[in-house]
Amino acid sequence: MPTHEQKFFDGFMLLLGVLIGALAGIVLFADWFGSAQVGVSDGALIDDRIRPIGQVVLFGDPDIGVESIVAAAAEPDRAPLSGSQVYDESCYLCHAAPGIGGAPVLGDMDAWTPRIAQGTALLHDHVLDGYQGDTGFMPPKGGRLDLTDEEVFKAIDFFLEAVE
């Protein structure tokens, strides 16, 4: 009749054996798996794998490809936004009081009167293309290149209605 200690010892040794076996299995598998990867030492392949997934471009950079981004976003797969929705999502950031970076504040008659005098067509162009005026810089479509031109025009109407 094995003693209590002996039973424990036997069980413990069995468990230890299983664990060591499993460990050896993992080591062997990892070794095989590592060597099975083709071209690990191939420099070009590594470069390809660690290549950054994005690239920083700045406005004014000739390679920015704004046209292609705009073209790709021209037909958004969603319901068109209203002028006030576009304002809340995309224009508010700069055009709410006090006006960031020299942006004319929504409803500020003094700031808008001379701009409206330029004519709506020019305002449209300035917002679509981006605008560097006397007070600051606005990126094209306020930075929201996924907006359609119509959505931007509705947002401009929203600005104009606020000072009517």
**Contact positions toward ligand HEC, by CB under 6 A?**
86, 90-91, 93-95, 100-104, 115, 118, 122-123, 126-127, 131, 133-139, 141-144, 152, 155-156, 159
What minimum distance in Å lies between the beta carbon of 158 and ligand HEC? 8
Q: Which is nearer to ligand HEC, 46 or 122 (CB)?
A: 122
Provide the 3-class DSSP secondary structure of residue 118. coil
What minimum distance in Å lies between the beta carbon of 122 and ligand HEC? 6
What minimum distance in Å lies between the beta carbon of 73 and ligand HEC? 14
Q: Which is nearer to ligand HEC, 36 or 121 (CB)?
A: 121
Q: Which is nearer to ligand HEC, 6 or 113 (CB)?
A: 113
Nearest-angstrom CA–CA distance, 65 and 35: 42
Report the first-to-last Cα separation within the chain, whole angstroms.
102
Start-end of H helices in 37-148: 43-49, 66-73, 83-86, 92-95, 109-116, 120-129
Secondary element (H or E) of residue 132: strand 131-132
The DSSP secondary-structure symbol of 163 reads T
Q: Which is nearer to ligand HEC, 8 or 92 (CB)?
A: 92
